[in-house]
Structure 1
Amino acid sequence: MATQEIPVEKCSLHVPDLDELCRVLQKGLSNNFKNVSVKTVECPDLTQKPFTLAAKGISGSPRLADVGGVPYLVPLAQRDKVYNFDTVASLVDLPGAFIIGAGAGRLCTINCELMPNIVTTSDCTHGDNKSRAAMICPDDGILMIKQYDLNEFYILGNLLACEGKQGPVIEVKVSKRSGKENFVTNMRETLKAHYGDKPVGLGGTFLIESGKAKLHVMPDYSQVPLNSDADVDSWLKFREADAPLVCLSVLISHDPGLSLRVEHTHCFRQFNEGGHYHYDTTPDEVSYHGYFVPAEYMYRLDRPPT
């Protein structure tokens, strides 16, 4: 889709003080995990292992983008919904942005789960694409984790865009889940309960350091209409994955009327595991360690009409 063809909506988000956010998250996460530590730190170099991101940090004019959406995937995929990372960076008023998050890709015409991890190209920056994708081989049903060198994604994307700088971030460490909510939902519901109708958005990366997690991977586009949640669940390929897993995540406390996906997380482990994160399956063993920043704006690109 050409830049001028993509409708853009924008809203400002509430940006609390980082120390305040830490206190709010500390309290909310303690209702769901036995061990919780939330504090403000200087972002480590995220290009290093285990994170292996394309930029050192997640600071510098952070904003979220919700591109396309599930309505373009069901009941049958609209394959003409093609988006360009460089274009998205320009549309969110940050040319050359570092972008991470979760979306849908296409490798050799096959639908796949995309883990965007890319420094986009502009007049002032050279691109660096370290994205990965999880795809199901249609010949044998085997999961493959591939380097994703394309500058395009398809159907949908939930993204954090920033300048890729190191700076103050929220460090979250939790372990031994005692409640029912997954890690991301627990943070989002905590923010929703505390801030009410003030939308607060977070983006960042976290590790599942130990334990196991339930993931799904989309196979190739369905040839029959997906008309219900049951149809979608039958189409998706679910699996249990071992830690360590690197997760790329965005969330917003509530939808301020833009038809948003309020949370979305994809994860990978080098070149042998990956997909869409649902929740951990080993509550007594699991541990999470992540870094997040509050976003200043939410951009809604190409909102589905229904």
Structure 2
Amino acid sequence: MAVRIEKSAFHVPSLEELGEVLHDGLKTNFADVQVSVVDCPDLTQEPFSFAAAGLCGKPRIADVGGVPYLLPLPQTEKIYNLNTVAKEVELPAAFILGAGAASFKAVGVNAELMPNVLTKGGGKPEANHSYSAKINPVTGECILEKYGEKYKTCDFALLANLYISEGKPGKVVEVRSSRRTGQSNFVSCMREALERHYGDKPIGMGGTFVIQKGKAKIHVMGFDLRVEHTHCFSHHGEGGHYHYDTTPDTVEYLGYFLPAELLYRIDRPEKTHNIGRD
């Protein structure tokens, strides 16, 4: 069944301008901030181990489904596929990062999904490096799994917020922040800075970051934040939805970001609500 797709353009500032805006915003919330325009590191290497080398090449954002498909009751027929999404955003063989809900048909329970996929195209199959996180019903502990490797699917359920590009090397904005002094988390602080500076101009930004020191609060569920949505995974068996760091005095962030050119709203719910936005 065909889904409704709405397409719109973002305002795209220069990377230099974007860097200045992010720097000024982060300085209100972190003691130490460095922002610069650099060549994107090879993201196929540690600590990222992504499915593509870079964040560049026709960057766009897809907002798929939504919280109303999850709450008050999950609509189990809402299953999507990342290969299909790549076609719907007019970028086959795309590199997709983001946050969403894992397919309960694959996992068997509600689980967080950390998409990390180079979708199929050009005669090549997809490379699926995605992770998922669920709760052990007996112990209550997080179970982090290599979703693509274990379940061998690019399906996801209910909702996802995705950054999509050609996965090419290129220039990006590098952000280093440490010692949080304010109340906003790393992602919220950048979003709020963009909102203050650009006002009514629509801005979309995606990318990735590493918490080099410190700990963070995460949850395992699958909510939709609309204006921001960040999932994470670790190399020590934990993952889920990022809220904020819990060690403000010692935390260190390193991130790489790029402004998106286009927004694709896919299968937007006809009826919405404000449940589960945080």
Task: Report the TM-score, using the length of structure 1 for normalisation.
Answer: 0.84
**Amino acid across the alignment from 1:119:** L
- 1:253-264 aligned within 5 A: 261-264=226-229
Alignment of 1:146 onto 2:145 = yes
263-272 or 158-167: which moved more?
Answer: 263-272
CA distances 1:238-286 after superposition (whole Å, capped 9, x unpaired):
xxxxxxxxxxxxxxxxxxxxx9810000011125111100001111011
Unpaired runs of 5+ residues, structure 1, are 220-231, 233-258
The offset of 1:209, in angstroms, is 0.9
CA distances 1:212-259 after superposition (whole Å, capped 9, x unpaired):
11110129xxxxxxxxxxxx9xxxxxxxxxxxxxxxxxxxxxxxxxx9
Identity %: 55
Correspondence for 1:183: 186
Alignment of 1:162 onto 2:127 = no
User: Secondary structure of 1:264's match?
Assistant: coil
User: Secondary structure of 2:35's match?
Assistant: strand
Q: Distance in 1 between matches of 2:225 and 2:241?
A: 17
CA distances 1:19-69 after superposition (whole Å, capped 9, x unpaired):
011111111110110000111000010010001111000100000000001
Q: Distance in 2 between matches of 1:137 and 1:110?
A: 10
CA RMSD of aligned residues (A): 1.5
Q: Distance in 1 between matches of 2:253 and 2:212?
A: 6
User: Secondary structure of 1:90's match?
Assistant: helix
Name whichever structure is richer in strand by fraction.
1
Correspondence for 1:20: 17
User: Secondary structure of 2:68's match?
Assistant: helix
Q: Distance in 2 between matches of 1:270 and 1:181?
A: 25
User: Secondary structure of 2:75's match?
Assistant: coil
User: Secondary structure of 2:164's match?
Assistant: strand
The offset of 1:108, in angstroms, is 3.1
267-276 or 70-79: which moved more?
Answer: 267-276
**Amino acid across the alignment from 1:217:** V
Say whether the 8 Å CA contact 1:102–1:264 is kept in structure 2: yes
**Amino acid across the alignment from 1:273:** E
CA distances 1:154-198 after superposition (whole Å, capped 9, x unpaired):
000000010000100000000000111001010001001000111
Paired residue total: 265
**Amino acid across the alignment from 2:68:** P
Q: Distance in 1 between matches of 2:173 and 2:126?
A: 27
- Of 204, 208, 232, the match for 1:205: 208
Correspondence for 1:83: 80
